[in-house]
Each structure stands twice: as C-alpha cells, then as structure tokens.
Amino acid sequence: MEFPTLGEHCQYPNCNQTDFLPLQCKCAKVFCRVHFNEHCLSGDCELAPEPKAVNLKNDDQIYRCSEKGCRKGNLHEMLCAKCNKHYCIEHRFHPTCPEIDDETMATKIEQFEAPRKQFAEANKHLQEKITENIRKALQSSAKVKTASKIQLMRIKQKAIGPKSIPVSDRVYFAVTKPKSMEPKAVKVIQDANNLSDIESVSLDPDLKDSVPLFISSKWSLGRAIDTICDSCNIKNDNNKMAGPKLRLFRQLDKYCVYPLKMDVEIGDLIQKEILLEGDKLLIEYIDSEILSSLNDYSQLFLS
C-alpha cells in the first residue's frame, strides 16, 4: 500500500474498510460514511447523535428519513416542498405526500377563474351590442332587405375561390382590397357605452371596387384571411413577427372581426351573426404594435 499511514479502519463489525475521510463518533469509535449512519441509528451508542426529522440546527445531528420503514439518515436536511418533512435521497420524490383534495382544488380554481369569467361576460355583452347595432340597422327597411338579397345574388354569380371547397360548405362575401400597405388608423373600444348607435344604413348592391369570392364555413378565420389574400393577390405577412398584419373588417360599421383570435371558425361567426353571407368586407393592414397592446376583451374599429 502506497500510503499506509493515511486514513482509518472502520470499526463497524465485519467492515474494517480503510476510509481516508473517516467519521468519528463521540464514543471515540471511527467509521466509514456508510456505517457511521448505521451506528448512529442503531441505538446501541448513548453518545451517538440523535436522529430528528425537522428543525435541526447543527451538523452534529442526523436527519432521519420520514419514509415509513426507512432507517437512513443524512447529515444535511432535505425538506419536501409539499409537507416540509425530511427525506433521504432515495425517497426524495416520494408519492406519499397528501395532495390537495378535489373540493379545495375546485375552490382555488374558481377563485382564479372568477376575474376571467367577469371579463368574458363583459366582452360577450359588448360583442352582442356591436352585432345587434348593425343587424338592426340592416333590418330597418324593406329597401335594405331587398338590396341585401340582390347583393348576395350578384356575389354568387361572380365569386372566385378554391374549387376544392364543397358547394355545401361555401359562404360568399365581397372583399375590398387595401389601397396600400400603410397601417390604417383604428380606435379601440372596451365599453358598450362608448358605442354609437346606427339608426339606419344604405346598402349599395353594386360590387364596384370589391372582389366577390367564397370561402369554407369550416375554415378558421386565419386560414380564410390567407385564402382571401391568395385570391386577391394581397401581400400577406401575417406569419412574420414584425410588420403590419392583415385583419378583416365589416364595411358597414368598420368593425374588426376578432383581431386576436385567428382560430375561430367562419361557421361560428355566421351563427353568431358577426358575419352574414353577402356581407361586404374590408381587409386592411393594422400596426402590429397596436394588436400586441390589445387584450381579449378589446374591440377594434377603423377610424
């Protein structure tokens, strides 16, 4: 042996291992690291440090594992984040911690979701108010109703779109293209009291300066905008981080259709009467910074 004078022999029965960093008990016996713990936990030595589970303040004491049936101890305390008890490395990620019961968890979730539900209810009211505003105006006279039917008929006669869309899924609109790539000025409304009532509208069935087209009722709003851009040869950078983004607006009241939710289905928008077949729509560029400043409850209009 190269260093016969270094280290000590473990005095645990049947061990006698040479340990270069031995641990000495207060009873003067020397042990290797493994058998020092066993000696302290055996209860045979009155001078050995007493194992405790929690709140130990010095390194002379051993921390006993709280796992049932485990007799391992550690020199350093390792507390479980859930129950604040000490566990050895083997049982560090133990499954025995009491979990939060279903009733308590449901209460916590309800408290967390309450503000969101309030905002969602307010947003729903605002959305319904905006839609009711324009649809009532459209139903204000027989002349407007007749113009709507004529407009839809003319759109269907000249509409372009992907031939792969089944006829039963097609919905028809007339879309006016942006005149430039400059972002349009907009106004943000978050309160129904700030809406201006529309008493009446004049509907011109003439499709001048607009492109009649059809899309699928089963598509998302984002896919519909992409297809409209392809059909109308509009530059579309919606998939890029920077630069202005394209959004869809109703021509009659300049209302932006879901500026943030691109995954909503066209069929759902029609069911809620946010869009109706035959509507004239505008597609315009909006500053991406304005869009990033919006929350889920903001409603956007062209100025």
Per-residue pLDDT reduced to its tens digit, 53-64: 444 445 456 788
The residue among 243 and 192 whose pLDDT is bigger is: 243
Q: What percent of the chain has pLDDT over 90?
A: 22
Does some domain include residue 267? yes
pLDDT over 50 (residue 79): yes
pLDDT over 90 (residue 284): yes
What single string gives the DSSP state of each residue in the chain?
---TTSSEE--STTT--EESS-EE-TTS-EE-HHHHHHHHHHS--TTSPPPBSS---STTSPEEP-STT---EESS--B-TTT--B--STTTT-S-SPPPPHHHHHHHHHHHHHHHHHHHHHHHHHHHHHHHHHHHHHTS-HHHHHHHHHHHHHHHHH-B--TTS-GGGEEEEEEEPPSSSSPPPEEEE--GGGPPP----------TT-EEEEEETTSBHHHHHHHHHHHHT----TTSSSS-EEEEEETTT-BBS-SS-TTSBHHHHHHTTSS-TT-EEEEEEE-HHHHHH--TT-EEEE-
pLDDT at residue 234 in the model: 92
The residue among 192 and 92 whose pLDDT is bigger is: 92
pLDDT over 60 (residue 164): yes
Could you tell me the pTM of the whole model? 0.54
The residue among 213 and 151 whose pLDDT is bigger is: 213
Does some domain include residue 4? no
The domain of 189 spans: 104-302
Does some domain include residue 129? yes
Does some domain include residue 7? no
pLDDT at residue 114 in the model: 73
pLDDT over 50 (residue 181): yes
Q: What percent of the chain has pLDDT over 70?
A: 74
Does some domain include residue 41? no
Does some domain include residue 145? yes
Does some domain include residue 195? yes
CATH number at residue 235: 3.10.20.90
The residue among 108 and 83 whose pLDDT is bigger is: 83
pLDDT over 80 (residue 137): no
The residue among 84 and 171 whose pLDDT is bigger is: 171
Overall number of domains in the chain: 1
Does some domain include residue 297? yes
